[in-house]
Structure 1
Amino acid sequence: MATTPPRIFSEQRRKSSRLRMLGLQEREQDAARFVLDDMVEDIAERLAFVRHDPARALVIGDYSGNLARHSLGKAQDIQEADIVGNHVIDLQQPHPAGGHDFIAVLGLLDTVNDLPGALIHLRQALAPGGLVIAMFPGAGSLPKLRKAIYAAEPDRPAARMHPLVDTRAAADLLQRAGWKDPVVDSHDLNVRYGSLDRLVADLREQGLGNVLSSAAPPLTCAGIDRARAAFLDQADEDGRVTETFSILTLSGRRSLAGT
Structure 2
Amino acid sequence: MPDAPDHIVFDRALLDRRRGRWHAAATSDSPRFLLKAIAAELADRLSLVDRRFETAVDLGGHTGEMATLLEQGGQTGRVLRIERLPSLLGDSAMAVVGDEEMLPLAADSVDLIVSTLSLHLTNDTPGALVQLRRALKPDGLFLCALLGGGTLNELRASLFAAEAELLGGVSPRVAPFADVRDAGGLLQRAGFALPVTDQDRLTVRYDSLFELMADLRAMGMANMLVERSRRPASRRLFLRAAEIYAERFSDPDGRIRATFDIIYLSGWRPHESQQKPLKPGSARASLADALKDRSDKL
**Which TM-score applies when normalising by structure 1?**
0.92
Give the match for residue 54 of structure 1: 53
Q: C-alpha separation between the residues in 1 aligned to 2:150 and 2:258? A: 10
SS at match of 1:33: helix
Give the match for residue 175 of structure 1: 188
- C-alpha change, 1:223 and 1:118, in structure 2 (3 Å) is same
Question: Is 1:254 aligned with 2:265?
Answer: no
Aligned length: 256
Name the structure, 1 or 2, with higher relative contact order (CA <8 Å, separation 6+): 1
Give the match for residue 283 of structure 2: none
Within the candidate set 149, 154, 157, 1:139 is matched to 149
Give the match for residue 241 of structure 2: 227
- C-alpha change, 1:223 and 1:182, in structure 2 (3 Å) is same
CA offset at residue 57 of structure 1?
Answer: 0.4
Q: Report the more deviating stretch, 64-73 or 156-165.
A: 64-73
Q: C-alpha separation between the residues in 1 aligned to 2:55 and 2:15? A: 28
SS at match of 2:250: coil
Q: Report the more deviating stretch, 11-20 or 108-117.
A: 11-20
- The C-alpha deviation readout for 1:105-151, integer Å capped at 9, x for no partner, is 11111111111000001111101100011112111111211111112
SS at match of 1:20: helix
- The C-alpha deviation readout for 1:49-86, integer Å capped at 9, x for no partner, is 12233111011122333333333343222101112115
CA offset at residue 13 of structure 1?
Answer: 1.1
Q: C-alpha separation between the residues in 2 aligned to 1:245 and 1:37? A: 14
Question: Is 1:196 aligned with 2:196?
Answer: no
- The correspondence of residues 1-259 of structure 1 with structure 2, limited to 5 A, is 4-24=5-25, 27-73=26-72, 74=74, 75-85=76-86, 87-98=96-107, 99-154=109-164, 155-216=168-229, 217-233=231-247, 234-256=249-271
- The C-alpha deviation readout for 1:213-247, integer Å capped at 9, x for no partner, is 13312222321221010111121111011211111
CA offset at residue 93 of structure 1?
Answer: 1.9
- The C-alpha deviation readout for 1:170-225, integer Å capped at 9, x for no partner, is 11111111011111111011111111100000111111111111331222232122
Do the aligned partners of 1:167 and 1:248 also contact (CA within 8 Å) in 2?
A: yes
CA-based RMSD of the aligned residues comes to: 2.0
**Which TM-score applies when normalising by structure 2?**
0.80
The AA in structure 1 aligned to 2:82 is A
Q: Report the more deviating stretch, 58-67 or 186-195.
A: 58-67
- C-alpha change, 1:181 and 1:21, in structure 2 (3 Å) is farther
Aligned identity (percent) is: 33
- C-alpha change, 1:110 and 1:229, in structure 2 (3 Å) is same
Gaps in structure 2 of 5+ consecutive residues = 90-95, 274-298
- C-alpha change, 1:66 and 1:219, in structure 2 (3 Å) is closer
Q: C-alpha separation between the residues in 2 aligned to 1:38 and 1:115? A: 23
Do the aligned partners of 2:138 and 2:270 also contact (CA within 8 Å) in 1?
A: yes
Q: C-alpha separation between the residues in 1 aligned to 2:63 and 2:29? A: 14
Largest Rg, 1 or 2: 2
Q: C-alpha separation between the residues in 2 aligned to 1:58 and 1:145? A: 33
Do the aligned partners of 1:20 and 1:207 also contact (CA within 8 Å) in 2?
A: no
Q: Report the more deviating stretch, 228-237 or 80-89.
A: 80-89
SS at match of 1:43: helix
SS at match of 1:171: helix
Q: C-alpha separation between the residues in 2 aligned to 1:252 and 1:199? A: 33
